[in-house]
Structures are given as structure tokens and as C-alpha cells.
């Protein structure tokens, strides 16, 4: 399968999102009256926007131009997920000529399959799926194919069917490999000879979990590291805290590395370690690593609480729109489209890492970088 790495559109999407974000931060008032006025103004603006959206859809529908899209999203479990949803809502808006039928599947695979079948019944023009788990898809994708509805998969992968047009997302195994190569170099730079590692995995069966685990464990095995335990925190802050509380009780004093497979799990793990009196981060006893790269995680990285964050870019929607436009033009879109991603660190003692024969830069987090982040 040909691959395409897209960075320009991601930057454009980021700038667009940032511009919107920056604009929305300019009118904060402190007085209660002003706040009430702002609240009334905001409600009025929301009503006006909804009216405009409906009007735009009606106009486009009148022209027969509106493109109806069914989007079955994983859920709302993390900051990353919120940014992924926002990216799709920003691109597939009424003013852009779309009617987005969005379903938050709340991390429930049965709900997700039902949502896709609902889109078929609605006879939408396109279906976007971010698959909660990577298996159990061939039957419903065959139903989409029989209904003549193109399916585009984003983010996580589907491993038991190829009945979809394109997949847009990240290389999860590469993310895991990068974390392992950084940890090796970091331990050497710090003179740490023995690594005893605890892992808080993502949602069981999710390709992001499978890939990150596979990549990191490949390095751990090569280096002879001791992975003491590895349990799922389900990509949530609550899950990360619960697992880390258990780890602090079961493995007190036995570990010096915690790998969290997303930012929200890292936030929960931090709370649990703080409560247990375990120090972490640049000046702590435990090296803390996360995946995703949301703004809050980079804040913690800047503060030295999280040692390194390996980005997973949620801004897939601009590339999905490219796929839809190619299909509409009778062209064959790329089968796999990879978004560009960075690796972030709190310190500058590991400038670069080698992953799959490619040199990746470890970007030291600054406030300027954080301010420019889209999520």
C-alpha cells in the first residue's frame, strides 16, 4: 500500500483551530455583571450560529449539494478524543456544505456497530469510523459496501477487513519504538543502569494499545529491561489513577519507570504517586512517559513532571476531507495516510533518537510551543 505523510494540511488545521482558540480567549471579563452579559451574548451567538448552520444546510440541500457524513467516534475518554471530535466537527460543518451525523459510541463496540448500521439506514453519503477495537468489522463493512457507502477509517485500525477506502492515522508501533529508544538514551545520559518498568496500557483491543505495547516491548526485550507489570487503564485518568494506586501498593520501591499509553492515564498516575509519596519526573525517583501530546501534558513536561511525551496527532479531518473530495472527483485516494508527529522532552539531554532507520528530533518543550498547540 502506498503511503502519504501529510503535514501542510495538519499545520493549516492547527493554525485554523489555534486562530479560533486565540479569538475565543480575548473577551474574558471578571465582573459578575459582565459575565452574565457575556453568557447572554454567548447564548445569543450560539443560537445565531445554529440558525446559520441550519440555513446553510437548507441552502445547500436546496442545491442538492449537502454531503451527509456519518461519524462513529470511539467516545469521549480523553483530551485527545475531544480534539479528534472537534477536528471533524470543524471540517465537516454546515457552512462547509456538510451534514455531520455524529455518534459518540462511549467506548462500546456494540453501540459503534449499531451506529454504522444506522448510517446505512439513513443512506448517508460517507461513513467515518474510529474503531474502538480492531476486530469484528467485516460483516458491517460488507453491509456498507452492499449499500454503496464508502467508509473511511481514522486513527485506530481495523485488522479483520479491508472493505474501506482509506485509513488516516498514526503509526502506533513507531510511537512505542520511539518511547523505548528515548528511554534507552535517557537512562544512559542520566547514568541509570537498571530500569524496572510499570506500564499502564490503553484500552484492551485498541490498535493504539497493541502498537504502542508491541513497539516499546521490542526495545525492552532488546535491552533486557524488567517490565514488572502491564495493566490497562482504558485511556482514562480514572483508570490511570486506579492502576497506579495498585502498583504503588504492590511494587513499593521496586520501580523507576512508568509508561502511560496516553496523557490522561499519566495525569491519574501522577495523582496516585503523589498520594503515595512517590516522586516522579526530572527531579524524581520515577521516569514518567506519556503518549498523545495534549497541551496539559506538555505543561507537565515543561514543569519537569513528565519526562517525555510521544505525540499522536488527532487532526485527521483535513486529510479525510481530501479523501472525500478525491472520491467525489472519481479519483482513487491513498489507501494509507499518515499524519506527521513529534516527540517531546522536558530536558535537552537526548537531542535525537533513531527509529526504524529514521532520525527523530526530541523537541524540548517551551511555553511558546505549548501556546501554539491545537489541543
Interface residues with ligand GZL (CB under 6 A) are 77-78, 80-81, 155-156, 170, 208, 235, 262, 291-292, 312
CA distance linking residue 352 with residue 145, whole number of Å: 44
Q: Which residue's CB is nearer to ligand GZL, number 77 or number 99?
A: 77
CB of 99 to ligand GZL, least distance (A): 25
Q: Which residue's CB is nearer to ligand GZL, number 293 or number 333?
A: 293
Which residue spans within the chain are E strands per DSSP? Answer: 3-6, 67-73, 98-104, 126-129, 151-154, 166-169, 196-201, 226-232, 257-260, 287-292, 308-311, 336-339, 343-345, 352-355, 358-364
CB of 121 to ligand GZL, least distance (A): 27
CB of 156 to ligand GZL, least distance (A): 5
Q: Which residue's CB is nearer to ligand GZL, number 239 or number 333?
A: 239
CA distance linking residue 355 with residue 172, whole number of Å: 12
C-alpha cell read off for 147: 449499500
**3 state DSSP class of 353:** strand
CA distance linking residue 57 with residue 272, whole number of Å: 48
Q: Which residue's CB is nearer to ligand GZL, number 176 or number 281?
A: 176
CB of 170 to ligand GZL, least distance (A): 5
CB of 200 to ligand GZL, least distance (A): 12
C-alpha cell read off for 221: 526485550
Block residue for cell numbers 449539494:
65
Instruction: From residue 239, give the alpha-carbon distance in Å to each of 202, 207, 260.
Output: 9, 18, 11
CB of 169 to ligand GZL, least distance (A): 6
Q: Which residue's CB is nearer to ligand GZL, number 41 or number 214?
A: 214
Residues contacting residue 42 through CB under 8 Å, at least 6 positions apart = none
Instruction: From residue 101, give the alpha-carbon distance in Å to each of 50, 68, 78, 98, 149.
Output: 15, 7, 21, 9, 14
CA distance linking residue 276 with residue 279, whole number of Å: 9
Q: Which residue's CB is nearer to ligand GZL, number 170 or number 346?
A: 170
**3 state DSSP class of 64:** coil
CA distance linking residue 4 with residue 8, whole number of Å: 12
Q: Which residue's CB is nearer to ligand GZL, number 292 or number 305?
A: 292
Q: Which residue's CB is nearer to ligand GZL, number 209 or number 363?
A: 209
Amino acid at each position: 500500500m502506498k503511503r502519504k505523510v501529510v503535514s501542510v494540511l495538519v499545520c493549516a488545521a492547527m493554525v485554523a483551530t489555534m486562530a479560533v482558540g486565540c479569538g475565543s480567549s480575548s473577551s474574558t471579563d471578571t465582573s459578575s455583571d459582565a459575565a452574565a452579559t457575556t453568557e447572554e451574548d454567548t447564548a445569543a451567538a450560539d443560537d445565531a450560529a445554529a440558525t446559520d448552520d441550519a440555513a446553510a444546510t437548507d441552502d445547500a440541500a436546496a442545491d442538492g449539494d449537502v454531503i451527509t457524513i456519518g461519524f462513529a467516534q470511539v467516545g469521549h475518554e480523553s483530551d485527545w478524543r475531544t480534539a479528534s471530535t472537534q477536528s471533524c466537527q470543524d471540517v465537516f460543518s454546515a457552512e462547509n456544505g456538510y451534514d455531520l451525523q455524529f455518534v459518540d459510541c462511549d467506548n462500546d463496540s456494540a453501540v459503534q456497530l449499531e451506529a454504522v448500521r444506522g448510517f446505512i439506514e439513513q443512506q448517508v453519503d460517507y461513513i467515518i469510523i474510529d474503531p474502538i477495537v480492531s476486530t469484528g468489522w467485516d460483516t458491517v463493512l460488507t453491509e456498507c459496501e452492499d449499500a454503496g457507502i464508502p467508509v473511511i477509517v481514522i486513527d485506530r485500525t481495523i485488522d479483520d477487513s479491508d472493505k474501506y477506502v482509506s485509513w488516516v492515522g498514526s503509526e502506533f508501533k513507531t510511537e512505542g519504538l520511539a518511547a523505548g529508544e528515548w528511554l534507552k538514551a535517557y537512562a544512559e545520559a542520566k547514568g541509570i543502569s537498571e530500569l524496572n518498568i510499570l506500564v499502564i496500557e490503553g484500552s484492551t483491543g485498541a490498535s493504539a494499545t497493541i502498537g504502542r505495547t508491541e513497539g516499546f516491548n521490542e526495545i525492552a526485550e532488546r535491552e533486557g529491561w524488567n517490565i514488572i507489570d502491564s495493566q490497562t487503564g482504558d485511556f482514562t485518568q480514572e483508570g490511570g489513577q486506579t492502576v497506579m494506586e495498585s502498583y504503588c501498593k504492590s511494587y513499593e520501591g521496586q520501580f523507576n519507570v512508568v509508561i502511560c499509553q496516553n496523557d490522561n492515564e499519566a495525569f491519574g498516575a501522577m495523582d496516585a504517586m503523589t498520594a503515595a509519596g512517590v516522586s516522579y519526573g526530572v527531579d524524581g525517583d520515577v521516569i514518567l512517559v506519556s503518549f498523545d501530546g495534549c497541551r496539559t501534558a506538555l505543561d507537565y513536561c515543561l514543569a519537569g513532571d513528565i519526562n517525555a511525551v510521544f505525540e499522536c496527532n488527532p487532526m485527521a479531518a483535513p486529510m479525510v476531507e481530501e479523501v472525500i473530495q478525491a472520491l467525489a472527483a472519481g479519483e482513487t485516494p491513498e489507501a494509507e495516510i499518515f499524519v506527521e508527529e513529534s516527540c517531546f522532552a522536558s530536558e535537552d539531554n537526548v537531542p535525537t533518537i533513531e527509529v526504524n532507520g529514521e532520525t527523530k528530533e526530541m523537541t524540548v518543550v517551551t511555553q511558546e510551543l505549548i501556546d501554539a498547540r491545537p489541543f
